[in-house]
Structure 1
Amino acid sequence: MNRPLRALAMAVSLSLLTLQLTACGASSAFEPCIPPEATAAGGSELAGVYRGKHDAEGVTLTLSLTPGQNGGTLTAENWPTGNYYRAELGATFKGSGTWEIDTPSNPKDHPLVHLYFTQPHDWMSGDTIDRLSVAMDSTKTVLYENSDPDTCPDFRLDLTKTD
């Protein structure tokens, strides 16, 4: 194979590999696994019922908006239990509490949904997944654990029904 053809073949292979990595397991190699990370999000945009995918399979999170606030109440089913409570509650739990949007002060940062579980009992921050990043576009809203921004998130919840 001559040099220009070899360079072209290498560029095409690299392009296909890049597309596969950014697709994050999506149905199409040209479709990202989640929408772009939100630069702003309001409580009314986020209220609704979320269903889990991948590591969050079987998880349901319902966010209800409290009028006049940028958050409200939450209920969760099959939510992952943090290591501290695993012996007491098992691998997952059914819980409730409140939620709010942490609006960043730095314009380069992105909003987070902060979950405060009060049932089955108060949780310390970090004892379970309690901060979720927001990805959205005109057709889809996703809450996800952003443990590694360079990979497609394994723990993600898709908005299936608005409040």
Structure 2
Amino acid sequence: MALGLTGCGAAERCVPAGSSVVGTGDLAGTYRGVHEAQGAVLTLASVPGWSGGTLTVEGWPTGPSYRAELGRTFKGSGTWELDAGSTGGPLVRLSFTQPHDWISGDTVDRLAVAADSSRTVLYENSDPDTCPDFRLDRP
């Protein structure tokens, strides 16, 4: 399955060019933000028998509806689910329960997945023709 975005410069791809089938166990770990996601940390833990697990975030962007209450970023927790059958490649769907339930779209809550043998990248796929500015790397 090809998931490549390569427009970030000749020396290095911004996300891996391809991905094999990705499972929930493959996604567990800590991801650190780069570019627009600088300072964000996302930790995914898988739950056996479930197509996802639990998550924690630090420095996660707050959507406009909650910015006055929480500030520009927040620290929280919730659950995640892998949507491997999504059109355009696998997606990680985030559901935040702390500091309170979020309405979909009030923060970054869907991340595309790109992986190769050396790294996994989760990113907001707003424009498939450009390198994503909001991305999190797990070496």
Superposition TM-score, scaled by structure 1 size: 0.77
Question: 1:131 aligned to 2:115?
Answer: no
Q: Which amino acid aligns with 1:120?
A: P
- SS for the counterpart of 1:150 is coil
The structural deviation recorded for 1:36 is: 2.5
Tell me the CA shift for residue 93 of structure 1: 0.2
CA-to-aligned-CA distance 1:94-143 (integer Å, 9 cap, x gap): 010000001226xx531100000000000011110000000111111000
Which consecutive residues of structure 1, in runs of 5 or more, have no partner in the other structure?
A: 1-20
Q: Residue 35 of structure 1: which of 3, 6, 16 is its match?
A: 16
Structure 1 residue 90 displacement after superposition: 0.4
Deviations along 1:43-78, one digit per CA (max 9) or x if unpaired, are: 000000000100111110000011111110000000
What number of residue pairs does the alignment pair up?
A: 135
- Aligned residue in 1 for 2:132: 153
SS at match of 1:114: strand
Supply the distance in 1 between the matched residues of 2:126 and 2:18 (Cα, whole angstroms). Answer: 14
Find the structure with the greater CA-based Rg.
1
**SS of aligned partner of 1:84:** coil
Q: Aligned equivalents of 1:130 and 1:86: distance in 2?
A: 16
Q: Does 1:48 align with 2:48?
A: no
Structure 1 CA distance for aligned equivalents of residues 131 and 73 of structure 2: 23
CA distance in 2: counterparts of 1:117 and 1:38, whole angstroms: 27
- Counterpart Cα distance in 2 of 1:84 and 1:68: 35
CA shift digits 1:76-99 (9 cap, x unpaired): 000000011011100000010000
> Which is strand-richer, 1 or 2?
2
Any conservation in 2 of the 1:37–1:134 contact (CA below 8 Å)? no
What corresponds to 1:69 in structure 2?
Answer: 50
Q: Where in structure 2 are the equivalents of 1:56-95 lying within 5 Å?
A: 56-95=37-76
1:17 is aligned to none
SS of match in other structure, 2:137: strand
For 1:159 and 1:144, locate their aligned partners in 2 and report how far apart those are by CA, in whole Å. 11
Q: Structure 1: which 4+ aligned runs deviate by more than 2 Å?
A: 36-40
Structure 2 length as normaliser, TM-score?
0.90
Structure that is richer in helix per residue: 1
Partners of 1:39 and 1:111 within 8 A in 2: no
In structure 2, runs of 5+ residues without a counterpart are none
